[in-house]
Amino acid sequence: MFIDSARFSVTSGKGGQGCAAFRREKFVVKGGPDGGDGGRGGDVYFLVDNNTDTLSNYKGRKFFKAENGKQGLGGSMTGKSGEALVLIVPPGTQVIDDETNEVIFDLLEVGKKVLFLEGGKGGLGNVHFKNSRNQRPTYFQPGLPGTTRKIRLELKLIADVGLVGYPNVGKSTLISVTSNATPEIANYEFTTLTPKLGVVGVGDYNSFVMADIPGIIDGASEGRGLGLEFLKHIERTKTLLFVIDVANYRTMIDQYNVLKQEVAKFSTELSKRNFAIVLSKIDGYFGEDLEGDIKKFINEIGLEVTTSNEFKFEADYPYYIQDLIYSRFDETKPYFVLPISSLTKLNIKQLGFALYNLLEQGK
């Protein structure tokens, strides 16, 4: 089950109390105090593990606690320290203070281990309180308590390319034919209920990660549909790929304008990312003039049809791509507008190479 948020309290271990003991040894008279210190309470750590991609381990859990330190022993022996609590999270997890909403950690690096809460210090044994006026102390210190904090974990997937589109426009099919992902695919809206990641291979040695999220509808940034809940999963993506359905009852320009608006409302920073556009379901078009409709859309967003490119796009339909040989990359424009068909594989292989080249522009 995909879980991308969790809320609970976590406490570090309490320090063990010191010990009041006296040396007892044959032929040794009045050996004196020798009570050891209490053990230190267990610390709390966060560990970023690439082998997990969900917060499901924390579902239904309200409290986590590290082990307490053990009491000191006679013979000046220190008690055993409490075992540390290691909370394992996937890359992209934010640790947030649930009371102040402060982001404590933003955990991105795989293998990184960070100390969150220190355990309580163990109390001193009576051996520390011997002096010339009191050579037989019977008191010791209790251990210090651990620290408790209420936190919230929020997972934001890390991907190179994030798919953005209305429900049932072909995003799941696209990620299934371009990557190793196996999402559920059906001919109805909101088939995708959880984000999906897939690795797209480019040639023999290169690859990038693509993320598919539930479809966005009008008002998604205000909480309608599933978009608001999962838009956060494309916040970390380097580029956005807008998926426009040519067979949808909505016009291509209407789909594009709404998607751009919803992304901008959700995050101004996200709306400034490099992006590209694919026109999906070419094979399902039921209008009269597909070529004319594509040209019209390209013109409506202020661009002109391109006649050549380095990726060998199929020339059956109009397309647009920025010419980076003689011009610099323009971040205000889509890198390309490309008609595709996941069913017939039209321009699918070329899409992978073009997206990889777009990612290079962000470095």
Does 168 count as an annotated binding residue?
Answer: yes
Average pLDDT score over residue span 315-325: 92
Does 121 count as an annotated binding residue?
Answer: no
Does 341 count as an annotated binding residue?
Answer: yes
Residue 322 pLDDT more than 70? yes
275 and 344 fall within a common domain: yes
Per-residue pLDDT tens over the stretch 169-222: 888 889 889 887 664 444 434 444 467 778 898 988 899 988 887 666 555 445
176 and 284 fall within a common domain: yes
Does 359 count as an annotated binding residue?
Answer: no
- pLDDT score for 286: 87
d(CA 200, CA 18) in angstroms, rounded, equals: 59
* CATH code, domain with 144: 2.70.210.12
193 and 173 fall within a common domain: yes
- pLDDT score for 336: 97
75 and 124 fall within a common domain: yes
Does 345 count as an annotated binding residue?
Answer: no
Does 283 count as an annotated binding residue?
Answer: yes
Does 190 count as an annotated binding residue?
Answer: yes
Per-residue pLDDT tens over the stretch 58-112: 988 999 999 999 999 988 899 999 999 999 999 989 999 999 999 999 999 999 9
232 and 109 fall within a common domain: no
Does 227 count as an annotated binding residue?
Answer: no
The DSSP string of 38-107 is PPPPPPEEEEE-TT----GGGTT--EEEPPPPPPPBTTTBPPPPPPPEEEEE-TTEEEEETTT--EEEEE
121 and 270 fall within a common domain: no
d(CA 266, CA 252) in angstroms, rounded, equals: 21
Per-residue pLDDT tens over the stretch 302-316: 999 998 899 999 988
Domain that holds residue 77: 1-156
Does 191 count as an annotated binding residue?
Answer: yes
d(CA 90, CA 54) in angstroms, rounded, equals: 6
329 and 206 fall within a common domain: yes
Residue 3 pLDDT more than 80? no
Per-residue pLDDT tens over the stretch 98-152: 999 999 999 999 999 999 999 999 999 999 998 888 888 988 999 999 999 999 9
d(CA 241, CA 138) in angstroms, rounded, equals: 72
Residue 180 and residue 198 in contact, taking contact as beta carbons nearer than 8 Å: yes
147 and 193 fall within a common domain: no
- pLDDT score for 186: 41
Does 120 count as an annotated binding residue?
Answer: no
Given 138, 156, 174, the domain boundary residue is: 156
Does 214 count as an annotated binding residue?
Answer: yes
Does 172 count as an annotated binding residue?
Answer: yes
The chain-wide mean pLDDT, for the chain, equals 87
150 and 18 fall within a common domain: yes
Helix axis angle for 171-178 and 348-361, nearest 10°, is 90
129 and 149 fall within a common domain: yes
Does 170 count as an annotated binding residue?
Answer: yes
Average pLDDT score over residue span 7-32: 88
- pLDDT score for 158: 78
Average pLDDT score over residue span 248-274: 90
192 and 51 fall within a common domain: no
266 and 139 fall within a common domain: no
Does 362 count as an annotated binding residue?
Answer: no
DSSP letter at 219 equals T
Burial (CB count within 10 angstroms: exposed 0-12, middle 13-18, buried 19+), residue 23: middle
Residue 5 pLDDT more than 60? yes
Does 182 count as an annotated binding residue?
Answer: no
* CATH code, domain with 275: 3.40.50.300
Residue 262 and residue 216 in contact, taking contact as beta carbons nearer than 8 Å: yes
Residue 359 pLDDT more than 70? yes
Does 330 count as an annotated binding residue?
Answer: no
Average pLDDT score over residue span 219-241: 66
Does 282 count as an annotated binding residue?
Answer: yes
Residue 363 pLDDT more than 60? no
Q: What is the distance in angstroms between the CA of the first residue and the CA of the last residue of the chain?
A: 34
The tally of domains found in the chain comes to 2
- pLDDT score for 106: 93
- How many CB atoms within 10 Å of residue 308? 9
The structure tokens listed for 19 are 């010990």
- pLDDT score for 228: 52
The structure tokens listed for 251 are 């016009």
Does 167 count as an annotated binding residue?
Answer: yes
Residue holding tokens 């010990």? Answer: 19
Does 351 count as an annotated binding residue?
Answer: no
User: Who has greater pLDDT, 355 or 214?
Assistant: 355
- pLDDT score for 292: 95
Given 125, 156, 187, the domain boundary residue is: 156
d(CA 159, CA 141) in angstroms, rounded, equals: 52
Does 267 count as an annotated binding residue?
Answer: no
Burial (CB count within 10 angstroms: exposed 0-12, middle 13-18, buried 19+), residue 27: exposed
Does 137 count as an annotated binding residue?
Answer: no
Given 110, 132, 156, the domain boundary residue is: 156
